[in-house]
Amino acid sequence: MKVEGNVVHARADEIEALLTHLKSVTTTAFVHIEAEGVNEKTTLLRLAWVDESVKELLTSLTLEGFYPYVKRDKVTSFVHERRLSQLWKPLLDGNYSQDENGIVYHFEAAIQKPARPRLLVIFSSMPPYIFTSSLNRYMTFNYQSMAKFSNKETSVLRIADFGGILGNFYMDTKVHPKNSSNIMALIRRTMVELGVDNRDVVLLGSSKGGTGAVHYGLKMRLPYVAVDPVLSEHHYWEKFNDSHFTRDTVFDQTKDEFFDELCTDERFQTFDEGQQVIIYSSRSPQLQNISKYILERNPNGLSIDVVNEEIKDHPDVAPKSLHVTTSVVSSMLAGIELRNGQKTIV
């Protein structure tokens, strides 16, 4: 291991010495890890998926506030979160912003000055390649044309899922135990600044973003549209060897524990007609948990089953239901009342 000021160079097998140094020298800003097995086609995150010792290394660095941002040959570079604004290009060029609590976001003002302002809050899904070394894995620009099809008085707030190895599903973690409170503060502050009423907000997300939409919709009592939300880890633990790095990493609570507590009749019943929308597919493996925590518990929402034959798995649901999602969100932002119930769309 080699130390040069606030930069550390280490091999992947030097984890104990590295962690001892990071805990004693809290000004460390960059860590460069050389690992056998990392090459042109394989990132450190991809390697960690199949190698428990590398997963332990990634978890330990994440718990110390370090995140991979680039790969060069066998070396993966990590940056401490306090240096994000000095390194991550979207923050440097002003495309993204970061608030006083460290929440990274992108804001798009309404096309025209609103007489009745609306706000669309979009939570990010996983990136196209989940094992990328780029920090862009924390902010995927889903529904890029949604504002164009929505009311021109609608502003769009996109919130990055920064933290965790591949993100933290917008939940609290051991590193950021106040993450949920900070995200809610950002949404509320944006609403106040724009003068947006609760009824003129829609929270939207698919997959991991759908996890966020359900979470904050129920916690904040704000209208939400969740597309095939991920409400349990077990599918990814059992079939994909924990491909999202949520088992024994940075979380104190599983999604099952969290949504079992959150999804209560008391919360569901506080919404007006047509303010809770779940778009899913009976062809998706997520159906079991969506049914368990939402469909079977919530008589006060609109659920839409998209049974398009081109849907073969969970990642297909969002793109194959885009027309439905666009129609629903646009209607909600236009103030058109939706009716609760269950619908099936082919």
Short-list 36, 101, 38, 28, CA closest to 65: 28
Percent of the chain with pLDDT over 90: 95
Distance CA 170, CA 179 (A): 7
CB of 279 closer than 8 Å to CB of 225? yes
- Only one residue has tokens 């949604």, namely 146
User: So what's the pLDDT on residue 325?
Assistant: 97
Q: Which residues pair with 226 in a beta bridge?
A: 205, 278
Question: Predicted confidence band at 147 (pLDDT cuts at 50, 70, 90)?
Answer: confident
R_g over Cα of the chain:
21
Strand bridging mode 224-227 / 276-280: parallel
Q: In 10 A of CB 302, how many CB atoms?
A: 20
Asked whether 249 and 164 are in contact (CB, 8 A), the reply is yes
Q: How confident is the model over 233-250, as a mean pLDDT?
A: 95
pLDDT in tens, 260-303: 999 999 999 999 999 999 999 999 999 999 999 999 999 999 99
CA distances from residue 14 to 11, 71, 234, 271, 303 in whole angstroms, order as listed: 5, 19, 32, 53, 51
Minimum mean pLDDT range among 73-87, 138-152, 265-279? 138-152
pLDDT tens track for 18-39: 999 999 999 999 999 999 999 9
Distance CA 237, CA 244 (A): 8
Give the mean model confidence (pLDDT) for residues 103-128.
93
Q: How confident is the model at residue 324 (pLDDT cuts 50, 70, 90)?
A: very high
